[in-house]
Amino acid sequence: MPISPLVLHRLANQRLLDARFQRPEQVVRWMGALQAQDYAQAVWAIGLRTGSATLAEVEQAIAAKKIVRTWPMRGTIHFVPAEDAKWMLQLGAPRMLARARGRQAQLDLDQAVLERSCRLFYDALHGGRRLTRAEMLALLEHAGIPAQKQRGYHILWYAAQTGLICMGPMQAKQQTFVLLEEWVPQVKELPREEALAKLAVRYFSSHGPAALPDFAWWGGLTLTDARAGMAAAGPDLVSQSIAGEEYWQVGESAPFRADQTQAFSLLPGFDEYLIGYTDRGAVLPGEYAARIIPGGNGIFQPMIVSGGQVVGTWKRKMKKNTVEVNLIPFTPLSVPQETIHAAAQRYSRFLGLQLSLV
């Protein structure tokens, strides 16, 4: 099927066709934020949008404090530019914290417990120290604050929402936590109107063409705030009508070639190409949606994308020095074997492993 203009321009602006970036931090700054609750998938989302960056290079950018992993929007973990972490948190935290009060009550977490937990975290991390998640939860338990039944996770989430902590580098495959003010001392704070405008420009540059509800969903904003951000962005945003609907983007789309319309990619789960919009029907037929989000449980599977369409899922099987890539298409793929192999090779190079089998 011919690729639609909407899909083609999104592929280009999401940097899934060409004009990829050289450094991981450039990807994150361009995208604004990338959903990242699954670490292994999220680092590939960054690497895929570079010319040839490896997992080691992405993790080096994290260790160098150029990229931060925290909970800035929708109460969900994202990779964001380090210097923008504070204002992104401040933009969304009041709404997220208000929505969490019911869950806090269910978990018997009152404000006194949350504040005491934050003081424990500050004292333990102050001075540039890092603790793993297990160590953070043990800290609570030793202080007489039960961390079972999601209490510990919610306390960590609260401390991140209030700007106290963020995630540091991985340590022996374990996530660490650090103090945000120490990890990124040069974080920016912006007036709310400026923050909304900046978020709008970031989103519509990388995700456009997109609609108002898409931006509101992605940013965890009310429609009123989303409109305010778009208005504040002013002439940077350009509207267009596609199939009778109003869409927005910033300036012209990223460049692409006519021969790229059938581009083949192995996208990670939770990739912004799908999750960054409220209406995903343009790239994922409704009859296959349950294959990407089994049971509607919010867990997005890694995706095969061909010609802009999600055409299947894929899995990896890693051994000591090799990786095997298994494709599960919805229907038989009409893609040359060498094209499939090249996409799998790109992933294996990212991991620094030999490709054993596709």
Which residue is listed with tokens 């009123």?
A: 224
- Give the count of beta carbons closer than 10 Å to the beta carbon of residue 150: 13
Same domain, 69 and 134: yes
Same domain, 230 and 271: no
Same domain, 164 and 201: no
* Predicted pLDDT at 357: 83
* Predicted pLDDT at 124: 98
Query: Computed from CA positions of residues 43, 48, 54, 57, in that sequence, does the dihedral angle turn out positive or negative?
Result: negative
| 303 SS3 class | strand
Q: Considering only CA atoms, which of 59, 7, 13, 18 is closest in space to residue 36?
A: 59
Q: Tens digit of pLDDT for each residue in 86-105?
A: 999 999 999 999 999 999 99
The CATH number that applies at residue 228 is 1.10.10
Q: Tens digit of pLDDT for each residue in 296-331?
A: 778 999 999 999 999 999 999 999 899 999 999 999
Q: Which of 61-65, 253-257, 340-344 has the lowest mean pLDDT?
A: 253-257
Question: Average pLDDT, stretch 188-208?
Answer: 95
Same domain, 174 and 293: no
Give the pair of three-digit tokens for residue 100: 């969490």
Burial of 333: CB neighbours in 10 Å, binned 0-12, 13-18, 19+: middle
Q: Is the link from the previous residue into 209 a cis peptide, with omega within 30 of 0? A: yes
C-alpha 96/C-alpha 221 separation (Å) is: 10
Q: In this structure, is residue 227 part of a structural domain?
A: yes
Same domain, 236 and 121: no
> Of 183, 215, 231, which one is at a domain's C-terminal end?
183
Alpha carbons within 13 angstroms on the beta-carbon side of residue 343 total: 23
pTM over 0.75: yes
> Of 183, 210, 230, which one is at a domain's C-terminal end?
183
Same domain, 231 and 142: no
Rg (CA), the chain: 21
Q: How many domains does the chain have?
A: 3
Structural domain that includes position 301: 258-357
Measuring CA to CA, how many Å separate 319 from each of 113, 337, 353?
A: 44, 23, 9
C-alpha 130/C-alpha 274 separation (Å) is: 34
Q: Tens digit of pLDDT for each residue in 235-280?
A: 889 999 988 899 999 987 777 666 666 789 999 999 999 999 999 9
- Give the count of beta carbons closer than 10 Å to the beta carbon of residue 171: 12
